[in-house]
């Protein structure tokens, strides 16, 4: 690639080229991953800012197409020696338009990482060096098939099958954030960055504290490492026992982010497992599996009252339906979830009224939209059937 | 041009070959992305944002 002589800023291209330098003798899969997440490739093949289907918007198919046509399988099925496979004198296509549309949905939600201080250029320029992040709001939520009849995510465990309090179990991973108080692989509303939050602060009798603090002198001074793996199952201490999951944990003056293991959330469930969740800000409601513990917030009601309260051990704590019900009764003297029509969700649990936060109701739920049941056709886009 | 004189010539040349496969170019990618700075949200995106709310 030729960079024009007049260009002053070159770091963006050099950092892209460094992907190939790093992996020159490595694995092509690693190159593909880094290229796909590169904001430069995101700009070039337009999956940066690509959004799920809504209204008249359809996901951009550019990267999905080129990834197969130019970067990987190509358009024709080949024999092991590289010659074309033939059936009745014609070649066999590797994929069709439906495959491209399916994969286009997989390349949605990509956006730029926050800018950091030590990048070339002015402070107001976008971050064109670090791998893109995925914004759940614009991510297509439906299943995505692969070319061989399987689904993306096959072989991973279901999230609801993972043991409770995975963050205290052997193999749990924590990343050092320093003083940066926003989770990076999990989600908090960006507007919370400068707000006075209630953090999940560890006390020094906790086993998790000992791991993260990593102190080896008698004064107890922490020796923070960039990444921490738990080598054993820890038992919960204090408020650790009152949460199902964590995002940021505070250890003295620094933050660690808990990195959730890769797992699968199914798009469709049996009706009896579903409860209705509602967000008043966007005035929307959805069905959620009652055991999913990192989407919805609690809404505790007194008997016969429809004004609900929200409780938390840290700002934005999310709970499963059953855990939320138990906590309402045990800790706060309420009756449980209800069909609330008003909710008091105020600091420190909810810091602003603008961010989207879903709250549990005790209402049953079916995956119907506008009186029509959703049906997902294999491989192609989800469609609404009358 | 460090990659013309670098000791790891094979690595640099493999990298160059890979960059010919996984291409990006200044044809579609600008130096400064000033367009994005001046117009952080395009009119069509803005419309989408409104529909979404």
Orientation angle between helical segments B9-21 and A11-22, nearest 10 degrees: 110
Are the beta carbons of B18 and A3 separated by less than 8 Å?
Answer: no
CA distance B51 to chain A (A): 7
B2-49 pLDDT, tens digit each: 778 889 999 999 999 999 999 998 777 777 665 455 545 444 444 444
pLDDT at A103 over 60: yes
Are the beta carbons of A49 and B18 separated by less than 8 Å?
Answer: no
Average pLDDT (A14-24) is 95
> Computed from CA positions of residues A366, A292, A145, A286, in that sequence, does the dihedral angle turn out positive or negative?
positive
A243-295 pLDDT, tens digit each: 999 999 999 999 999 999 988 888 778 888 999 999 888 788 888 999 999 89
A326 half-sphere exposure, CB direction, 13 A CA radius = 11
Are the beta carbons of B24 and A51 separated by less than 8 Å?
Answer: no
Rg (Cα) of chain A, in Å, rounded? 24
Average pLDDT (A331-347) is 89
A215 half-sphere exposure, CB direction, 13 A CA radius = 15
Collect all residues of chain B within an 8 Å Cβ-Cβ radius of residue A20. Answer: 14-16, 18-19, 22
- The model carries a pTM of 0.76
The ipTM, to two decimals, is 0.72
CA distance B42 to chain A (A): 11
Are the beta carbons of B24 and A41 separated by less than 8 Å?
Answer: yes
Q: Residue A258 class from Cβ within 10 Å (0-12 exposed, 13-18 middle, 19+ buried)?
A: buried
Q: Residue A172 class from Cβ within 10 Å (0-12 exposed, 13-18 middle, 19+ buried)?
A: buried
> What proportion of chain A, given as a percentage, has pLDDT over 70?
94
Residues 6+ apart with CB under 8 A from A28: none
């Amino acid at each position: 690639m030729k960079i024009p002589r007049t260009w002053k800023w070159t770091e963006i291209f050099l950092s892209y080229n460094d992907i190939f330098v790093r992996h020159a003798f490595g694995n092509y899969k690693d190159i593909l991953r880094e290229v796909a997440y590169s904001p430069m490739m995101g700009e070039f093949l337009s999956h940066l800012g690509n959004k799920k289907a809504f209204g008249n918007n359809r996901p951009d198919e550019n990267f999905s197409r080129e990834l197969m046509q130019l970067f990987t399988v190509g358009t024709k099925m080949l024999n092991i020696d590289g010659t074309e496979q033939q059936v009745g004198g014609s070649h066999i296509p590797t994929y069709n338009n439906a495959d491209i549309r399916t994969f286009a949905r997989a390349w949605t939600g990509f956006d730029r990482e926050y800018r950091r201080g030590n990048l070339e250029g002015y402070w107001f320029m976008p971050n064109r060096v670090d791998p893109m992040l995925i914004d759940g709001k614009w991510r297509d939520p439906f299943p995505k098939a692969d070319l061989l009849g399987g689904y993306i995510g096959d072989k991973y465990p279901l999230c609801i099958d993972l043991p409770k309090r995975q963050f205290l179990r052997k193999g749990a991973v924590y990343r050092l954030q320093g003083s940066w108080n926003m989770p990076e692989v999990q989600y908090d509303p960006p507007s919370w960055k400068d707000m006075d939050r209630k953090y999940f602060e560890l006390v020094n009798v906790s086993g998790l504290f000992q791991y993260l603090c990593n102190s080896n002198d008698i004064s107890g001074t922490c020796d923070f490492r960039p990444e921490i793996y738990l080598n054993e199952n820890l038992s919960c201490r204090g408020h650790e026992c009152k949460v199902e999951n964590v995002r940021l944990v505070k250890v003295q003056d620094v933050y660690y982010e808990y990195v959730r293991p890769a797992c699968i959330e199914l798009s469709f469930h049996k009706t009896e497992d579903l409860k209705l969740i509602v967000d008043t800000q966007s005035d929307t409601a959805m069905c959620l599996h009652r055991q999913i513990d990192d989407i919805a917030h609690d809404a505790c009601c007194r008997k016969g009252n429809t004004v609900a309260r929200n409780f938390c051990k840290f700002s934005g704590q999310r709970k499963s339906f059953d855990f939320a019900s138990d906590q309402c009764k045990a800790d706060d003297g309420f009756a449980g979830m209800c069909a609330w029509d008003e909710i008091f969700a105020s600091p420190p649990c909810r810091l602003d009224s603008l961010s989207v936060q879903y709250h549990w109701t005790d209402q049953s739920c079916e995956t119907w939209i506008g009186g029509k049941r959703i049906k997902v056709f294999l491989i192609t886009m989800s469609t609404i059937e009358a | 041009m460090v990659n013309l004189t670098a000791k790891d010539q094979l690595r640099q040349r493999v990298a160059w070959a890979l960059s010919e496969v996984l291409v990006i170019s200044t044809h579609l990618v600008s130096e400064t992305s000033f367009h994005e700075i001046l117009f952080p949200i395009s009119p069509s995106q803005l419309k989408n944002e409104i529909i979404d709310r």
